[in-house]
Every structure is written in structure tokens, then in C-alpha cells.
Amino acid sequence: MSTCKLDHSLEDVKKKLADQTPFLLPAISEKCLNYLTPAVSQAELNELFHLLKKYDLASAEEKEIRDQKFVAFFSK
């Protein structure tokens, strides 16, 4: 995934999650939804946005890598 200089708002991330939920593992989708509160830092919002971005178009291998990154993210 490339780095992005844009900051993504809480609403941006929630919209991206809604778009990608059909393609995510249910546990990951649920954890994302529960995690997204106004207290989430900008860095965390940006990281989640980029994990979600084009998830539906990713290869099976890329999805597995991202799923592992989601698990690590929520284990912090």
C-alpha cells in the first residue's frame, strides 16, 4: 500500500468501511465498527482507511496480509 499525505476523517473511514464490509471477514468488520469513535487518532484513521481502501479488488494473498494487519492493529 502506498502512503498518502491526506488525512481521512472519521466519516471517510466509516463510509469506506460500509463500502467494504461485504468483502471483509465479519469479525474484522465488527471490530472496525466498534473501534471507530471520535477518540480515534488521525494516524489510526489514516491507517484503517488504507487497509480498507480497495480491499474488494485485492488478491487473495493481499487480503490475507491486510487481515493480519487488521488483527495486529486491533491488538495494540
* 58, part of any domain: yes
- Inside any domain, residue 10: no
Assigned domain for 32 exists: yes
Name residue, grid cell 469506506.
Answer: 16
Question: Which DSSP state fits 6?
Answer: P
Rounded to an integer, the average pLDDT of 58-74 is 96
Range of the domain at 29: 23-74
The answer to the question of residue 37 being in a domain is yes
pLDDT value for 37? 92
Q: In this structure, are residues 70 and 33 in contact, taking their beta carbons and an 8 Å threshold? A: no
Tell me if 5 is assigned to some domain. no
Domain assignment present for residue 15? The answer is no
Question: What letter does residue 56 receive in the DSSP assignment?
Answer: G
Contact 1, 33 (CB under 8 A): no
**Mean of pLDDT values over 2-13:** 85
Residue 7 lies in a domain: no
pLDDT tens-digit series, residues 18-61: 999 999 999 999 999 999 999 999 999 999 999 999 999 999 99
Structural domains counted in the chain = 1
In whole angstroms, how far apart are CA 63 and each of 5, 11, 19, 66, 67? Answer: 23, 23, 16, 5, 6
